[in-house]
Amino acid sequence: MFAPSPRLRSVKNLERSSGQSSPAKASVSGSLTVLGIDPGLTRCGYAVLQVQGNTDISLTSLGVLRTKPEDELPARLAEIAQEVDALLDQYQPTAVAVERIFFQSNVRTAMSVGQVSGLVLSAAARRGIEVVQYSPNQVKLAITGWGGADKAQVQKMVKQRLKLNTIPKPADAADAAAIALCHIASSPLAMKIADSVAAKK
């Protein structure tokens, strides 16, 4: 039985640990709220972005879900699953965007990232939330216009797109923000649907 993680008891605590500060707000009618996830077992980056209209993108929250390498794998996966559930319950995103990882020589790392990705995909699907996976090249292309961009170039564009004073940190959180921005750039139809639903209410 796992107690709620202290990191998800307070949005302020999450934002202080990530070095970013933004007002917390749940999904509202006529908006698109995207939870971006950069999956990882030791560090799982997340970012919550909200779009009003076609260009007004605001950063609601971002940070990193961490587990201890010395803990047993089932306990670590359970902790991440619980924290992802808490994020979904708190922010009620319209969509969840997850990086699709293609790797790598380290089979153990690939397996752990795949396990975390599966937890996130399942959690979103159980709630009927749209969930989409994007490759690293798709994210780079959507953010910078070039699929061969390096991490520093992507982070610089994330800072610019979100109108931040500094590049989001840690890097896993910045990657999650890039994934969420990729989904927003790829989803003009989703915004039209959200606006249409709001207009009918």
- Specify the amino acid at residue 103: F
Distance CA(50)–CA(186), nearest Å, equals 15
Q: Annotated catalytic residue: which of 15, 79, 83, 99? A: 99
**Active site includes 38?**
yes
CA distance 90 to 154: 28
What secondary structure letter does DSSP report for 27?
Answer: -
The residue written with tokens 């953010």 in the block is 143
Catalytic (active site) residue 99 = yes
Angstrom distance (rounded) from CA 82 to CA 170: 21
SS3 content of the chain, % helix, strand, coil (to 5): 50, 20, 30
For residue 86, CA distances in Å to 17, 23, 59, 90, 124 come to: 17, 17, 18, 6, 12
Question: Of the listed 15, 79, 172, 175, which one is catalytic?
Answer: 172
Among 15, 38, 79, 83, which one carries the catalytic annotation? Answer: 38
User: Residue 150, exposed/middle/buried by CB under 10 A (0-12, 13-18, 19+)?
Assistant: exposed
Q: How far apart are CA 99 and CA 139, in angstroms?
A: 8
Q: How many residues does the chain have?
A: 201
Residues tagged active-site: 38, 99, 172
